[in-house]
């Protein structure tokens, strides 16, 4: 694997039709993590763990096909794009996922990049995600 990929977990560690929360950032930054989803068809997706509506934790939502339903207001977010399903509007950040030999990897460069302008301002010169924990 190229050095830019960060091993996160094994596919079997994510329940079918469920998610796994991956923390990011320094403790004092209180940044939303990344939600890694596994559909019933074993497709893997990763989104910023923040609904575009009011920041609800998508990792706690129900996976319905290739959508996740926000636990706060039941907005449906497409796992492929991170965008809300019409008539709702808005998108959350999508992360590139690589699955190889039953292991899930996320792009470390994307994890280190701020997910919003507010996050960029908060990170300042320290960077955003020097600590991304793997759960193996």
pLDDT in tens, 5-52: 999 999 999 999 999 999 886 655 677 899 999 999 999 999 999 999
pTM for the full model? 0.83
60, 72 contact by CB (below 8 A): no
Q: Report the run of H or E that residue 112 belongs to, with start and end.
A: helix 108-112
Identify the band that residue 129 occupies on the pLDDT scale cut at 50, 70 and 90: very low
Strands 62-64 and 67-69, by their bridges, are antiparallel
Among 3.30.70.600, 3.30.390.10, 2.102.10.10, 2.70.98.10, what is the CATH number of 5-123?
2.102.10.10
The residue ranges of every structural domain in the chain are 5-123
Apex 70 CA angle, 67 and 71, nearest 5: 135
pLDDT in tens, 62-117: 999 999 999 999 999 999 999 999 999 999 999 999 999 999 999 988 887 777 76
Return phi, psi of residue 110, to 5°.
-70, -40
15, 34 contact by CB (below 8 A): no
């Amino acid at each position: 694997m190229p050095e830019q990929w960060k091993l996160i977990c094994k596919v079997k560690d994510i329940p079918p039709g469920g998610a796994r929360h991956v923390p990011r950032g320094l403790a004092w930054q209180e940044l939303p993590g990344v939600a890694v989803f596994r559909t019933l068809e074993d497709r893997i997706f990763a989104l910023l763990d923040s609904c575009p509506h009011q920041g609800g934790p998508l990792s706690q939502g129900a996976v319905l096909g290739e959508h996740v339903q926000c636990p706060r207001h039941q907005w449906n977010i497409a796992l492929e794009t991170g965008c809300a399903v019409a008539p709702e509007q808005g998108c959350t950040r999508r992360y590139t996922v690589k699955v190889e030999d039953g292991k899930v990897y996320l792009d470390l460069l994307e994890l280190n990049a701020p997910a919003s302008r507010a996050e960029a301002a908060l990170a300042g010169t320290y960077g955003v995600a020097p600590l991304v924990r793997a759960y193996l």
